[in-house]
Structure 1
């Protein structure tokens, strides 16, 4: 950890990817080289054994079936047999053929072998005295693989085949050195290619890091271009989605602060002004306290409404559940009748169930009924009802007030907006009621519609999907 508590910067992801790539390549190339060497050694060993066995079989067959070219009969002299056979054989470069007569005289081919074995009596004696027909022994020229065949008769002779395998081993070692050099070049080439490819793969990641470092609360508009449909592209898309959520959250926060500052400034000014001018007269003090209490109540309602609108941005703002519309409508009608002395009419009632949040729907319809009370007088008719079909469920409140002017039809759903048409009572709200109703409708994936005409009352209708879902709810 650094002095400021941040983790120390280690190797970059690009270097780690390159290191792992080189390790994997080195292990793979090393495994291939090990396997190739083992295969080549096995082939050399097999070829040596096959050569010894073949030479031994050829001599045994010649000893059984061969005829002396001078007499035309079977060989009686072992020395003559060995001499004739050796004269007909063509040994390989790493092979030496010789014969040993009963008296110890050595018969050799007229060629120089890889090693002058006949003159090395110690090595030759080890071969002749060995109990088995084949084996291996050391010599100044390296390891020798040998086989021997004894002739039949009273005076047996020995045919010796010697194979010098060291030259094959030396050739394998040379091939492995060449393979090692090629592997080293492959590693260098792989390192270069890996550096370029890892750089291209990690380019969007570096862009994400730089963008994250440059983003501040005041600048959340930057986004990462997504041109790929792979894990890195999904990372960039996820980061952009996170920025969208942050931007929305900060916008909601700023709007809440702005709205609160805008609406609370006036009541705070009124409270301060009355408190500063309050005198000692008891009647004046009582009137001042009444005004202050009213303004504090209004401030409390504004804060509660603003908090509700801020909560409307959350996924759990509405929690839909299957609700009997008949029972919900009856409960709402019973509650709104206490809002004022009006001619309350149950205009209709839907029969069936709808997937809605009953508390939020009640809150929205009660708010619409409260607006109707503010724009009507005692005894005026206010109709409340509901209806539903296979797709939609609707709740409405219709009043007989002055209605809404066309120029106010869209604006009244905004925050802190008031219609220009006067109601029967002075406006006491902050203009957040219809904004709250709109937020509840949006939480259900529904809408709020305005009907009626100026001078003929207003009808507000909450139109929601019957089996719809709210924000953040699983379908």
Structure 2
């Protein structure tokens, strides 16, 4: 059936077709069964009648008279008609003699024929009785005509009833569709759920939950675009500012000074764009590079890098641990954790890693000022930076901790901030092994 037809039309058509086929088969079966049963009844009556007349003929020595328009009674010997009970059927040829029921065509009608033996004058003869089946044919014909008119009528009634019931059932769905269409591009609207707890009401609730998620995603996206635009504008503006000063006042700056500013701001811009692309890939669930990672190798590598930068690093607590994660995302997360600790540490950073049997627990401690309790969840959001991290030389774009949280979530784990035994902040990541 064409998909261009509405659901209401398809359901009504299919239901009506099925009902029509069932009724036609049932009507045909009923007519055939009626014909068979009534014919068998007439044949049984003919057998009983032949047996009764045979006894009477045996007792009287002759075939008793019997007048009826629908019964032929013959006395036969050697296939010849000796006499008939009703002279009106004297011209009827000999009827078949058989122990089994027979149906013959005589005088333009069907007849049920049965016979019974009788001995007269020492000779075996047969009383043959034929009963007309015209009444059977009339009854089955009437039943067929009645059912032939009734089946289409019942099918039309079923079609109308199905059309009405399906229409009433789909009316709330159409109302939901209309409400969603009116909402359009603004997901702040909601669908009015119908009363009850049926499938349609649950559909409306599901639509409202989806609209709520879309609204939240839209707000997050708008805030993300706004923050990203602001962060991207800052390094570009700094480069243009120094370039314009160099053009307008060549004596006020040197080539090396301008190159240093451009290199610093370009590096900052590159890091920001890289972070944005990484988060965009995570948002699209495109982490297809999941593999087993020796997390301790990544941590020790970052410890070596920080030592090269002049930071005092304690990595004695790092033990072996393997996790399944996106290697690029996890590598960036571990580096962000190390850079975050280096940025805020006064003098020392400590790494610890151990496998507790089900989870790999990574802790990065510093002896810096720490993070207030009320800000420990907020700083994992994108573009969120604390006041002391907003200077260009110390603070990033507010994506470092967000990437750490996304990396942990992508690997099936979690990340949180706590107090460090060194007096500063502790970043803890728990990842399933």
| TM bracket (short chain) | 0.7 to 0.9
- Return the structure number with greater strand share: 2
- Give 3-state SS (helix, strand or coil) of 2:19's partner: helix
- 1:458 paired with 2:427, answer no
- Give 3-state SS (helix, strand or coil) of 2:365's partner: strand
Task: Select which of 312, 333, 339 maps to 1:364.
Answer: 333
Name the CA distance, whole Å, in 2 between partners of 1:188 and 1:323. 69
Alpha-carbon spacing, 1:61–1:406, altered in 2? closer, same or farther (3 Å): closer
Contact 1:144–1:165 (Cα < 8 Å) also in 2: yes
Alpha-carbon spacing, 1:405–1:420, altered in 2? closer, same or farther (3 Å): farther
Aligned counterpart, 2:91: 125
Aligned counterpart, 1:30: 24
Aligned counterpart, 2:53: 59
Contact 1:375–1:425 (Cα < 8 Å) also in 2: no
Q: How many residues align?
A: 422
CA RMSD of aligned residues (A): 4.2
Residue 356 of structure 1 deviates from its aligned partner by 5.1
Aligned counterpart, 2:272: 302
Larger radius of gyration: 1
- 1:198 paired with 2:166, answer yes
Output aligned runs, 1:176-195, within 5 Å.
Answer: 176-195=144-163
Aligned counterpart, 2:237: 269
- 1:393 paired with 2:360, answer yes
Question: Is the deviation greater in 45-54 or in 284-293?
Answer: 284-293
Contact 2:299–2:334 (Cα < 8 Å) also in 1: no
Name the CA distance, whole Å, in 2 between partners of 1:434 and 1:135. 98
Q: Which runs of 5+ in 2 are unaligned?
A: none
Contact 2:379–2:385 (Cα < 8 Å) also in 1: yes
Residue 351 of structure 1 deviates from its aligned partner by 4.3
Contact 1:387–1:393 (Cα < 8 Å) also in 2: yes
Alpha-carbon spacing, 1:155–1:343, altered in 2? closer, same or farther (3 Å): closer
Aligned counterpart, 1:315: 285
Residue 29 of structure 1 deviates from its aligned partner by 0.5
Aligned counterpart, 1:172: 140
Output aligned runs, 1:18-417, within 5 Å.
Answer: 18-64=12-58, 66=59, 68=60, 75=61, 81-83=62-64, 86=65, 94-97=70-73, 107-108=85-86, 118-119=87-88, 124-128=90-94, 132=97, 136-139=104-107, 142-146=109-113, 152-153=120-121, 161-203=129-171, 205-206=173-174, 209-210=177-178, 213-219=181-187, 222=190, 225=193, 250=218, 253-277=221-245, 278-279=247-248, 281=250, 284=253, 286=255, 287-288=257-258, 290-317=260-287, 321-324=291-294, 326-338=296-308, 340-355=309-324, 359-376=328-345, 380-405=347-372, 408-417=375-384
TM-score normalised per structure 2: 0.78
Question: Is the deviation greater in 44-53 or in 399-408?
Answer: 399-408
Residue 465 of structure 1 deviates from its aligned partner by 4.2
- Give 3-state SS (helix, strand or coil) of 1:450's partner: strand
Name the CA distance, whole Å, in 2 between partners of 1:457 and 1:332. 21
Contact 2:367–2:423 (Cα < 8 Å) also in 1: yes
Output aligned runs, 1:429-468, within 5 Å.
Answer: 429-443=396-410, 444-452=412-420, 457-467=423-433
TM-score normalised per structure 1: 0.72
Name the CA distance, whole Å, in 2 between partners of 1:182 and 1:222. 49
